[in-house]
Homo-oligomer: A and B are copies of this chain.
Amino acid sequence: MLKKKTVVELGNLLTIESLTCNTIHNLIDRAESFAHTPANSVDSLLSNKVIANLFFEPSTRTQYSFEIAAKNLGANIISPAIYNLSTLKGESLLDTIHNFEAMGVSLFIVRHNVNHTPEFLSSELNGGAKILNAGDGTHQHPSQCLIDLMTIKQHAKNFEDISVAILGDVFRSRVARSLISGLQIMGTTDIRCIIPEPLIPEHQEIDSKFCTHTIDSGLKDADVIVCLRVQKERMQDNYKLDEDTYFKKYALTMDRLKLASHNAIVLHPGPINRGFEIDSLVADSDHSMILQQPKNSIPMRMAILHSLLT
């Protein structure tokens, strides 16, 4: 049975910074509980709740991860093809949301390419519906962060004593930004950001919390390596490298993995570019948690949805 004490009630889920260390531990416990509870004992927890997936950027895995999690709890979930339709008639984003709210939607799962859109929407909603940020621009992706923290917790005794290396376009990654904050909330201090030179923006203000490293020093004895997806269109023009050169200079290969702790785990938010930012040998190795993350995504998102809607 689900333990009542682990139920956290959330207002919205906009940023990982809105959660305390204690709340995050409770959400992870709740997710572990869902992972080990028979499906038929939870499949009416959110019956009669209407949830709307509003993905203004297309996404396969995140959208369907939420859809499966919602259905597992018996909720009705609608996924309007909003990136096609909303602009067709010029309706404003806010009017769309208010309309769905009037129709009984009590939670909006929002992905948008503009930073802070979920916060803007939550500030305008006053009828009781909540907002779950499923990724906004380069800003935040708190549910992914919770999945990653759950995955890390399954392999580390604690958060305080681990070394975490994040490899990739850290400056513009909402996954990295959320994870760094999430780890800091959990007490992790040794966080190394490894940003390949072609991905360093030209006029970037360096946030004081980003502690940058070379690949070798960053991976040295790391317990957790988070490899980010490279979006080729973001590379600086004068650094436009072919995949082979990028792979040789910056990818997470077996040789580089050997620099890390001998039982280091590798995370990647997916989808992975095999042979580009990560070697298939690494992605398919025992160190890889790359399929553990989508596996954890279902119970964690069930925990989040349940906390938001009860």
On A, residues with C-beta under 8 Å from B are 39-40, 43, 47-48, 50, 52, 58-61, 63-65, 67-68, 71-72, 76, 78, 80-82, 84-86, 88-92, 95-96, 98-100, 102-105, 229, 270-274, 291-295, 297-298
Contacts and interface: CB of A to CB of B under 8 A. Distances in A.
- Copies of this chain, how many? 3
A90 B47 contact: no
Contacts of A76: 68, 71-72
A58 B88 contact: yes
Given A43-B47, A72-B104, A99-B270, 10 more contacts: A40-B48, A50-B71, A60-B80, A60-B91, A68-B103, A89-B271, A90-B273, A95-B270, A102-B294, A103-B295
A271 B103 contact: no
Nearest to A85: B60
Contacts of A96: 60-61, 271
Contacts of A85: 58-60
Contacts of A92: 274
A69 to B, nearest CB: 9
Nearest to A291: B102
A281 to B, nearest CB: 15
A103 B297 contact: yes
A98 to B, nearest CB: 6
Contacts of A52: 64
Given A85-B59, A99-B270, A270-B91, A50 B68 contact: yes
A50 B69 CA distance: 11
A304 to B, nearest CB: 15
Nearest to A271: B91
B60 A294 contact: no
10 contacts: A39-B48, A50-B68, A61-B96, A63-B80, A68-B103, A68-B104, A72-B104, A91-B271, A92-B274, A95-B271
Contact of A102 (B40, B60, B100, B292): B292
Contact of A294 (B68, B103, B270): B103
A71 B71 CA distance: 12
